[in-house]
Amino acid sequence: MLGRTVKHYGLDPVELRRIYGSYLGCSQSVPLPLAMYLVLVPLKMRCPEFDRDCATGYVNVCAVKSITEAAPAAAKNLPKCRLEFEGGSSLPSFFSVKMTEKRLLNGLMTRELFCSMQSDRSIGGQMKVMEKARPDALDTIVSVNKLLYEMMVEKQDTKQGYSGNKSFKINHYK
């Protein structure tokens, strides 16, 4: 289903993962930007029922309003947090608040790169932009983004903490 959705936008999911994975410095769980306001972020949405059962679901980072920590539960197969969306709907996430926040921040960083590359308006042009960039420049961009992410998480940790039933607000640009 995801492959058909990505191809509907005229994009190749393998190339998207390669381009944005190299930007983020990861190869797994890479957010997929399909349009300016549609960036799909993979999250664990349920417990697998059998071996090789996929538990990953994709959420649009641009529609997430907040993340709320779930009530502490004794069973490990219960959601750890809830995502609240614009329009009032919500979904559970089996990742911790911190991991969910990290995935959504990666989605926002991917969105920023996607928007900055939209001046050419084609995925072929985007790949050419990435190929023309010097490899050491891309390494520097990845290092700076990781540093900024660590600073944001550290600031959030000291500001709010992750205990109790606190709500974390996602700030993104629209």
Is residue 116 one of the residues assigned to a domain? Answer: yes
Asked if 25 contacts 44 with a C-beta cutoff of 8 angstroms, the reply is no
DSSP state of 54: -
Q: Which domain holds residue 122?
A: 2-169
Is residue 159 one of the residues assigned to a domain? Answer: yes
Is residue 42 one of the residues assigned to a domain? Answer: yes
pLDDT, position 60: 92
pLDDT tens, 38-81? 999 999 888 878 887 788 889 999 999 999 888 776 567 788 88
Is residue 60 one of the residues assigned to a domain? Answer: yes
Asked if 62 contacts 174 with a C-beta cutoff of 8 angstroms, the reply is yes
Residue 174's pLDDT band, with cuts at 50, 70 and 90, is: very low
Is residue 117 one of the residues assigned to a domain? Answer: yes
Say how far apart CA 155 and CA 157 lie, in whole Å.
5
Sole residue written with tokens 């957010």: 31
CA 18-130-119 angle, 5° bins: 115
Go through the chain and tell me how many residues it has: 174
Asked if 57 contacts 45 with a C-beta cutoff of 8 angstroms, the reply is yes
Give the total number of structural domains in the chain: 1
* Mean pLDDT computed over 147-170: 57
* Residue 27 in this model has a pLDDT that exceeds 80: yes
pLDDT tens, 92-136? 898 989 999 999 999 999 998 888 887 555 555 555 555 555 555
Sole residue written with tokens 């664990």: 44
